[in-house]
C-alpha cells in the first residue's frame, strides 16, 4: 500500500520513486560494483565539467589567432568587367547540365527488380561500387534519388504506427472488475469557486471506486492518483490481480504518455472512446 504523503507529494510520484528505488537497488546488487564515496564522485563530476570549458577556451583562442594571421582574399576586378560585356544569349554552364540518364535508368531498374527492399541510398552504393570497379565516373546520390522518384522506384514511407486504444465494444459487462470507466465534471460552489471532480466507476455494479476533487484542473497527477487509489481499493495492492479495461474519453490528462504508461504499470489496459462519440 502506498501511504498518502501530507507534504504536497502525489501518490503516483511516491509509487514511481519506490519502483525506481527497488529496480536501482536490484541492479546495483547484480552488477557487483564497488561503492564510490560521494566526495570522489563530486570531484570527478567537477573535473569533467571543467575540462570542456577549458578546451572551448583554447579553441576560441586558436580561432582568433588564425583569423588574425589569415591573409585577406582580394577580388579580381577583371571578372566584373567580363560580366559586363557578356552577350545576351550567355548561359551559365554550371547550372545548365544536360545528362543522359537512359543507361543509368536501366541499371537502376535492374537493381530495383532484384532488390525491391533497397532504397535510393543502397542503390546508389551499388552503383558507386560497380563504377569504381570499372573505372567509370561516380554518380551523385541526388541524381539517383531524382531518377528513382521520376520512375516511381522509391520505397513507400511507412505509416505512423498509432496506439490501438479505441474502444468499440459494449459498455455493459457481466462481472465486476472487467471494465472501469473514468470521467470528470465541474460544479460551482456558493462563493462561485469551481469544483472539479474526477471519478472512476465499475461498469458492472456502478460503484464509485475512487474519486478526487480539486479547485484546479483535471491534471495528469490527479488522474494518476485517482487510478492508484482505485486499484488499492479493489485489490488491496498497487497491482491489479487481473486485466481490467480502463475506458476514458480523449482528455489531455487521460491520453498523456505518462498516464498511459502508469496505467499499464498498475495492470490496467487503457482504452478511449471515439473522438466524436456521443
Region of residue 8 (phi > 0: left; psi between -120 and 50: alpha; otherwise: beta)? left
Q: Which CATH superfamily is domain 179-272 in?
A: Ribonuclease H-like superfamily/Ribonuclease H (3.30.420.10)
Indicate if the pLDDT at residue 257 is higher than 90: no
266 closest CA partner among 229, 222, 212: 229
Q: Output the average pLDDT for the chain.
A: 79
- Dist. CA 18–CA 20, nearest whole Å: 6
Top pLDDT among 65 and 128 is at 128
pLDDT reported for residue 122:
93
> Which stretch of 27-31, 52-56, 99-103, 157-161 has the lowest confidence by average pLDDT?
27-31
Question: Measuring CA to CA, how many Å separate 272 from each of 90, 221, 239?
Answer: 66, 19, 21
221 closest CA partner among 16, 12, 14: 12
Question: Measuring CA to CA, how many Å separate 221 from each of 15, 81, 153, 218, 262?
Answer: 12, 72, 49, 8, 11
Top pLDDT among 5 and 201 is at 201
Total residue count of the chain as it appears in this document: 278
Top pLDDT among 161 and 177 is at 177
Return the domain boundaries, the chain: 100-159, 179-272
- The reported pTM is 0.45
- Dist. CA 134–CA 129, nearest whole Å: 9
Amino acid at each position: 500500500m502506498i501511504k498518502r504523503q501530507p507534504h504536497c507529494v502525489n501518490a503516483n510520484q511516491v509509487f514511481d520513486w519506490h519502483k525506481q528505488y527497488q529496480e536501482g537497488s536490484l541492479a546495483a546488487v547484480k552488477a557487483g560494483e564497488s561503492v564510490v564515496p560521494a566526495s570522489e564522485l563530486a570531484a570527478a563530476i567537477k573535473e569533467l565539467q571543467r575540462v570542456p570549458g577549458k578546451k572551448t577556451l583554447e579553441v576560441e583562442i586558436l580561432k582568433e589567432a588564425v583569423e588574425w594571421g589569415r591573409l585577406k582574399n582580394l577580388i579580381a576586378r577583371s571578372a566584373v568587367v567580363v560580366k559586363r560585356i557578356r552577350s545576351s544569349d550567355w548561359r551559365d554552364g554550371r547550372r545548365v547540365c544536360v545528362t543522359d540518364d537512359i543507361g543509368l535508368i536501366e541499371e537502376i531498374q535492374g537493381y530495383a527488380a532484384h532488390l525491391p527492399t533497397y532504397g535510393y541510398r543502397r542503390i546508389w552504393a551499388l552503383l558507386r561500387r560497380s563504377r569504381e570497379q570499372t573505372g567509370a565516373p561516380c554518380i551523385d546520390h541526388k541524381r539517383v534519388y531524382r531518377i528513382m522518384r521520376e520512375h516511381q522506384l522509391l520505397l513507400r514511407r511507412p505509416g505512423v504506427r498509432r496506439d490501438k486504444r479505441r474502444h468499440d465494444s459494449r459498455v455493459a459487462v457481466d462481472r465486476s472488475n472487467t471494465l472501469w470507466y473514468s470521467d470528470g465534471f465541474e460544479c460551482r460552489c456558493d462563493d462561485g469557486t469551481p469544483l472539479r471532480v474526477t471519478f472512476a466507476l465499475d461498469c458492472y455494479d456502478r460503484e464509485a471506486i475512487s474519486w478526487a476533487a480539486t479547485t484546479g484542473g483535471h491534471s495528469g497527477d490527479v488522474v494518476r492518483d485517482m487510478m492508484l487509489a482505485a486499484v488499492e481499493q479493489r485489490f488491496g495492492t498497487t497491482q491489479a490481480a487481473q486485466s481490467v479495461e480502463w475506458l476514458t474519453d480523449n482528455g489531455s490528462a487521460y491520453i498523456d504518455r505518462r498516464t498511459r504508461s502508469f496505467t499499464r504499470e498498475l495492470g490496467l489496459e487503457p482504452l478511449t472512446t471515439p473522438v466524436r462519440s456521443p
